[in-house]
Chain A
Amino acid sequence: MKMSETNPNSEERFRLSDRVLYRAVDDEGVLVHLENGRVMVVNEVALYIVRELDRQAITVSELAESVSCAFEVDAPRARVDVLLFLDQLREEQAIDTLASAGEEPTAG
C-alpha cells in the first residue's frame, strides 16, 4: 500500500482551498480548481471528506473519526483513507494547511 505523505499524528488543520468548488452528482462528487482548471471526480467517502474540509479547518484525527462514524468503517481504515485522500488533495493544491489554530493557511 502506498504510504501517505501526510503526518498522521500532526495537529495540522486542513481546509478546502477557496479556489476549489465542488458539487455532488449522484453518489459521486465533482471538484474544480478555478486556477489550474483541474477537475476531479471523487467517490462518496471522498465527497464526505471534501464537505468536512469545506465546513471547517480539521485535523487528520478528527476527519478519520468523522469518516469512521459516518461510514461505519474501523478507525485505522478510515485514517488510511483520509491520509491518502489528503495527499491527493494536496497534490492538486485543493487544500490549505493551518499549522495551528488561528494561523494563516498555506496552500497545499
Chain B
Amino acid sequence: MANASRLWGEKVVRLYLPMTMVWIDGLSGEQQRAIVRHYESFMADRSRASRKADVVCLAGRLDQPLGFPSGLFTVNGQYAPNKRRSGGEIEITGLDFSGRFVRDGRSPIQATLSVAREEELSRSGVLENFLRILLAHHVLDQGGALLHSAGVLYRNNAYLFSGRSNAGKTTLARKAIAAGADVLSDDINLVAFENGGFRAHKVPFSGELGRRAENLSGCGSFPLGGLVLLEKASRLTAIPVTPAEGVAGLLTGCPYVNDDAREFPALMDFLTRLVFHSPVIRLGVAKEDSFEAIISALLRCYENV
C-alpha cells in the first residue's frame, strides 16, 4: 500500500525503535537531517543495518495543507490526531499531516506519512504522533504494549507508574529526578515480554519533561520492577489490587489500541500475562510525599504480595 503519489526526495532514515525497525523512505535531504538530529540515539547503527524493516514508511507530499480547524483534533484540551480504522487499514489525520498503515499481518508494514510543507514532516506533532500510533499497534504483535506511565529506574529496575492525565506522573518523575533517580519517560513507556521476563523500554516520545534517559547506556531497556496505578491522595497508601483490577487499570493507559476491537484480544492477552507476572499496586501519593517515601512504601507492599 505504501504508495504516496509524490515523495519529497530519495533519502532514507532507519530508526531502530524498541522492537521495531522503521525505514522512512522518500525524504528530502533537509527532512533526513532533521530526523537524524531529533532521533539521534534511535538511529540504526552498523550492527543493526542489515536488520530487515518491520515498517516501510514513504514520506509523501500533499498538494496543499489539509486546512482542518484545530478544534477537530482536541480531546480533553489536548491535541490528538484522529485515528480511523477501515478493515485492516488505519488512517491517521492530524492538523498538518495524513498518515496510514496496513495491519493485515504482512511484514513489513506498509505506511505513508504525508505533509504539505517540507519542514513539517520531522516535527514532533507529525512524525512523533504518527510513530506513537504505529508503534502502539505494531508492538502488540511482538508481545509488548505502550503504557501511559512515568517510568522510574530504581536499583536498575524499572517501575512504571501508570495513571490518567493529572494523576501525578510528571510530579512523581520530578521527585525521582530530584532524588537522583533516572527517568525513562514521564509520559509513555513500552513494556514487553522478552527472554522469560518483562522489560521496560525507553521510547523517543516526549512528555512534559521532554525526552528522558538519552544518556542511559545499553539497549535502553530494563527489567520491570513493578507496576503501579498512580492516584493523588491525602496520604501515602500502597494496596495490591486483584488481577482484574490491574488489567482494567492498565488497559485505560494503553493509548491508541484500547478502543480498537481488533486489537482487544491481543491487548488483553498481554495485560493478563503482565499482571500475573508482575502484581499491580494501587498507590495513593500526597503532594508532600518524597520519592524515598514513595519507593519505600511500594517495595514494602511488594514484599507482602
The residues of A with any CB-CB pair to B shorter than 8 Å are 21, 23, 25-26, 28-30, 32, 34-35, 37, 39-41
Interface size on B, residues (CB 8 A): 16
Q: Does B259 contact A (CB under 8 A)?
A: yes
Q: A30-B268, A32-B264 are in contact. Are A37 and B258 (CB under 8 A)?
A: yes
Q: Name the residue of chain A whose CB is nearest to the CB of B246.
A: A25
Separation in Å of the A18 CB from the closest CB of chain B? Answer: 9
Q: A21-B264, A39-B251, A40-B248 are in contact. Are A28 and B242 (CB under 8 A)?
A: yes
Contact across chains for B272 and A25 when beta carbons are under 8 A apart: yes
Q: Name the residue of chain B whose CB is nearest to the CB of A43.
A: B244
B236-270 interface with A by 8 A CB criterion: 242-245, 247-248, 251-252, 258-261, 264, 268
Q: A37-B259, A39-B252 are in contact. Are A30 and B247 (CB under 8 A)?
A: yes
Interface of B is mostly: helix
Q: A34-B261, A37-B259 are in contact. Are A29 and B244 (CB under 8 A)?
A: yes
Q: Which residue of the partner chain, among A23, A28, A32, contacts B258 with CB atoms under 8 Å? A: A32
Rounded to whole angstroms, the CA-CA distance of A28 and B245 in the bound complex is 9
Q: Name the residue of chain A whose CB is nearest to the CB of B242.
A: A28
Q: What are 24 contact pairs spanning A and B, CB under 8 A?
A: A23-B247, A23-B268, A23-B272, A25-B247, A25-B275, A26-B242, A26-B244, A28-B242, A28-B244, A29-B244, A30-B244, A30-B247, A30-B248, A30-B268, A32-B251, A32-B258, A32-B264, A34-B259, A34-B260, A37-B252, A37-B258, A37-B259, A39-B248, A40-B248
The list of the 7 closest CB pairs from A to B, nearest first, reads A28-B244, A25-B244, A23-B268, A26-B243, A39-B248, A41-B244, A30-B248
Q: Which residues of the other chain, B, contact A32 by a CB distance below 8 angstroms?
A: 251, 258, 264
Contact across chains for B251 and A30 when beta carbons are under 8 A apart: yes
Q: Which residues of the other chain, A, contact B260 by a CB distance below 8 angstroms?
A: 34
Q: Which residues of the other chain, A, contact B258 by a CB distance below 8 angstroms?
A: 32, 37
Chain B 16-55 near chain A by CB (<8 Å), digits 1 or 0: 0000000000000000000000000000000000000000
Rounded to whole angstroms, the CA-CA distance of A39 and B243 in the bound complex is 14
Rounded to whole angstroms, the CA-CA distance of A32 and B254 in the bound complex is 13
Q: Which residues of the other chain, A, contact B245 by a CB distance below 8 angstroms?
A: 28, 41
* 14 extra interface residue pairs, beta carbon distance < 8 Å, beyond A25-B272, A30-B244, A39-B248: A21-B264, A23-B264, A25-B244, A25-B275, A26-B242, A26-B243, A26-B244, A28-B244, A30-B247, A32-B264, A35-B259, A37-B259, A39-B252, A41-B248
Rounded to whole angstroms, the CA-CA distance of A30 and B244 in the bound complex is 6
Q: Name the residue of chain B whose CB is nearest to the CB of A42.
A: B244
Q: A26-B243, A32-B251 are in contact. Are A21 and B272 (CB under 8 A)?
A: no
Rounded to whole angstroms, the CA-CA distance of A21 and B243 in the bound complex is 17
Q: Which residues of the other chain, A, contact B275 by a CB distance below 8 angstroms?
A: 25
Q: Which residues of the other chain, B, contact A21 by a CB distance below 8 angstroms?
A: 261, 264
Rounded to whole angstroms, the CA-CA distance of A26 and B243 in the bound complex is 7
Q: Which of B252, B259, B260, B272 has the most CB of A within 10 A?
A: B259
Separation in Å of the B100 CB from the closest CB of chain A? Answer: 21
Rounded to whole angstroms, the CA-CA distance of A34 and B257 in the bound complex is 10
B213-244 interface with A by 8 A CB criterion: 242-244
Rounded to whole angstroms, the CA-CA distance of A23 and B275 in the bound complex is 14
Q: Which residues of the other chain, A, contact B244 by a CB distance below 8 angstroms?
A: 25-26, 28-30, 41
